[in-house]
Amino acid sequence: MSELLSLLNVGRVLERNLIAVGICSPGELRRVGAKEAFIRIRAIDNGACLHMLYGLQGAVEGIRDTELPESTKEDLRLFFRGL
């Protein structure tokens, strides 16, 4: 079990994806940020979805993805559509 699993919204699948793209600690995820982490994951997992992006952002901020402000969700939706 890695430290990543201690983050909110991070389960086994997301943990595996993060490690596969070279993000192995909570600090590294915070440094890289949710959007860059998602871009890296999307390169190896074409099925990575918007909800995974929400989860990453919540993990970075230390909140549940369901508690993200609507303005943050809208920003992430626009980012996701632009990929």
Domain CATH number, residue 39? 1.10.150.20
Contacts of 64 (CB under 8 A, 6+ apart): 8, 9, 58
19-70 tens-digit pLDDT: 999 999 999 999 999 999 999 999 999 999 999 999 999 999 999 999 999 9
The pLDDT of residue 70: 98
DSSP letter (8 states) at residue 23 = -
Residue 1, pLDDT > 90, answer: no
Domain that holds residue 61: 3-81
What's the domain count of the chain?
1
The pLDDT of residue 34: 98
| pTM score of the predicted model | 0.96
